[in-house]
A and B are shown apart, each in its own frame.
Chain A
Amino acid sequence: MKRALRTVVAAGTVAALVAGCSLSGNTGNDPQAPATVTLVTHDSWLAPQEVLDAFERQSGIKISVLKQGDAGALTNKLVLTKANPIGDVAYGIDSTFASRALTEGVFEQYTSPEADRGPQRYSVDPEHRLSAVDLGDVCVNVDTRYFADKGIPEPKSFADLADAKYKDLMIAESPATSSPGLAFLLGTVAQFGEQGWQGYWTQLKANGLKVVSGWEEAYSKEFSGSSGKGPRPIVVSYASSPAAEIGDDGKPRTKALLDTCYRQVEYAGVLKGGKQVEKARKVVDFLLSQQFQVTVASNMYVYPARQGVELPQGWAQAAPQPQQPKTLEPAKIQAGREQWIAQWRTLLEG
């Protein structure tokens, strides 16, 4: 009995060892497959495997994905490793961080032939080192049922949110720890100007705004319109979030306030000093292609940068794209970002 047990344990150990070794053996950079291009991206990356496989069959390029945190962390890691980049191509640098990456010289010049199908509208750089892949709009979302039940009109604008009618109803993320939080702060800077935004936030604070550190808590725990059924009916999220809250009746339970949106554009570029520049360019072309663009909405909850790409069913009603979102010049963001966050922290956390 004892011996049998030992044999079982020994066999189990060997099996586990073999399993363990398979992990170390699979390092991805097989010299037999020189066509592997490493794509460095952020945590929200998601693409259907069949689309990647189709690209591989068609071009002979296998994309190996390396996620490196959120857009900020991704940018900073690319800056730190620019002398010897960790990949060949990067996707997911957004307009908030684009100027840092450009100033630091992380990307090569490359104009994709696909960029003339729309992406160039969002160009940030005359040298075309970054190509726009998608856009995400950070907007205030509301729980429509809450307002219907209470008989209060839904808020519509930035100014409404500071109205006493909506006291203690709103939840937002800290711009210091959250990317939608930062986008919302930038939206208020764009709306009220560098002189006015602090006054607006003071009003929001006085109106009972609650700030948490991340989107997960804000949306899944505090917001009454999500499955978490939190206490507050107003939250900073994305224009596309209502698409995930469609009930059994086919109607969305939440709504984005299209006058409170701030647009973040996400870019891709070829990394300077990468080992396979030519193939990396092909990957940028792929990211801008119809084939890939049609996947971004349902997978990453963002809008394709390419014109004429169909959105998933239900988006037209649940998640229409805002027509006049706020934006800020990348150079202005680069100059102001740290200072605004510091001022915001003094204002809201002090």
Chain B
Amino acid sequence: MAHATRRLTSRPTFRGAGLAALAVLPLGFLVVFFAWPVAAIVARGFGSGGVGTAIGDPLTWELAGFTVASAGVSTIVAVLAGLPVAFLLARVRLPGVSLVRTLVLVPFVLPTVVVGLAFRALWPDGGLLPLVLANAFFNVAVVARTVSGLWSHLDPRAVDAARALGASPWRAFRSVTLPALAPAIASSAAVVFLFCATSFGVVLILGGAKYRTLETEIYLRTVELLDLSGAAALSLVQFAAVVAALVVGALARRRRENAVRLRSRSETARRPRGGEWWAVSAGLAVVALLMTPIVALLVESVSTSDGWSLAGYEALAGQGSRGALQVSGWDAASMSLRTAFDATTLAMIVGVLASVVLVALRRTPGRLARGMGETMDAALMLPLGVSAVTVGFGYLVTLDALPGDLRTSPLLVPLAQALVIIPLIVRMVLPVLRSVDVRLRQAASTLGASPGRVWREIDLPLTARSLVAAAGFGYVVALGEFGATSFLARPDAPTLPVAVATLISRPGELNNQMAYAACALLMIVTVVAVVLIDRFGAVRGQNSVGEF
């Protein structure tokens, strides 16, 4: 049976030329807006000499070790916390699950400076524990959303069969569900690891003067010291660590990715029974923990030295105390929505094209195609693993060569945000796209459908929900993106996170409160955006998967 499948799979479904044409846009985008700027700035470091010395410096390796270790622990925490939430989202039919699906995304969009301050309130001395937990806090959503995306489509009958044959629920989970989920878990873990390894604001605030990572050190050397050779050396080490993480992630995924029968969530979710309640409770506990800092922020936004007040919210209509902002809070919100829309559109085009190419390469016979596929897969992830400072400074020294001097264009913000969300979109779309049973596609081809029609009639309906989910997720990430945005946003067009950072960096109680109110606004905007997108996705998804 396996043999037969492999023989069938090896029939190329796309022709090489068509594939190459599809690959041009995503690869071109990566080269122009990522590889070239990064290479240019690192090359400058080499030009000024001393890179070798910096690489040989024991401090460099200490930083690398700490970066990898702390990001690794944060990733484990995020995966352990994310799995029960994924179960809740994928398998459980209870009132309030869709609320959980929405709420779990909120941490992801909070500006790092605010989360850093919230964690500081709990752990006034900072340190390792809050640092690790804060990084995990941001990323539980990545695991929960990515894994539940696949989980909700898994056929539950395999588990039922295992249970009928006498397996305990835990055993059935371990030997049936977990292997099927492995690609999504590995994918999300790789993404989370990269986010944690390059997290900047959190480390700066909670690590304080004591804990430093490659990322914070690259920032210091580039931004404050203009020590480009030191920064280049650290970038190379970080790059190597990221590639290593990607290779490990790819190896973990490689043997596990099979075509799984995909089902609609409406068929698979049900009321939990028996031991499943434990998983439900664990999921709900995680959600409650995630909500704690959020509630604290909301409380902070309405408390003043003279008691409760909505002054911060009222101030959103204006520009802050003594005009701290150049636009009103509402204008910043509208700018956020528009920028994130542009970024998501761009990222969806690039990300979905890239995923289609990756799947096609995967299904093309031969080592070459496979190698190309794996290289491209890894290359698409790299933007998550390279310092935003390196990319931002790289833009300054390269993009003037393009027509229109993009360095000072407002377009740069959506471009940079797209770079951050493309890897997420690929990671969310790819597992589902790959899991589409190749025999369905072959049956369609045999019946005379063109490749485009196969994609339209088979892949698209089966993956529609994941596509919408990926777009929604990307949109939300773009809404909250701060690192790249803060480097590039113009003062007359700040996004909400940039506005929050500006407000919080000015003295005065009103500005402080307005910053927290703007955070609350960011959360509300996020929740509304997610609800709309999820609703749209659910309607489309149910119908099309149902029809299928």
Contact = CB atoms under 8 A, between A and B. Distances in A.
Contact of A76 (B117, B222, B341, B502): B222
Interface in A1-46: 2, 5, 9, 16-17, 19-20, 22-24, 26-28, 38, 43-46
Nearest to A337: B225
B121 A27 contact: no
Contacts of B396: 77, 80-81, 86
Contacts of A77: 393, 396
Contacts of B205: 212-214, 217
A174 B408 contact: no
Given A174-B209, A213-B208, A219 B225 contact: no
A76 B392 CA distance: 12
B326 interface: yes
Nearest to A77: B396
B324 interface: yes
B224 interface: yes
Interface in B192-207: 204-205, 207
Contacts of B489: 67
A244 B508 contact: yes
A338 B224 CA distance: 9
Given A72-B224, A77-B393, A231-B124, A27 B512 contact: no
A81 B504 contact: no
A177 interface: yes
Contact of B304 (A227, A338, A349): A227
Interface in B167-205: 204-205
B305 interface: yes
A196 interface: no
Between B335, B414, B489, B512, the greatest number of chain A beta carbons within 10 A of the residue's beta carbon is seen for B512
A19 B226 contact: no
A270 to B, nearest CB: 17
A216 B117 contact: yes
A277 interface: no
Contact of B507 (A45, A298, A301): A301
B116 interface: yes
B123 to A, nearest CB: 12
Contact of A348 (B209, B397, B408): B209
A72 to B, nearest CB: 5
A27 B409 contact: yes
A259 interface: no
Contacts of A67: 489-491
Interface string A73-117: 101110111001011000000000000100000000000000000
A27 B204 contact: no
A82 B13 CA distance: 51
Chain B CB within 10 Å — which of A19, A79, A214, A229 has the most?
A214
A337 to B, nearest CB: 8
B113 A216 contact: yes
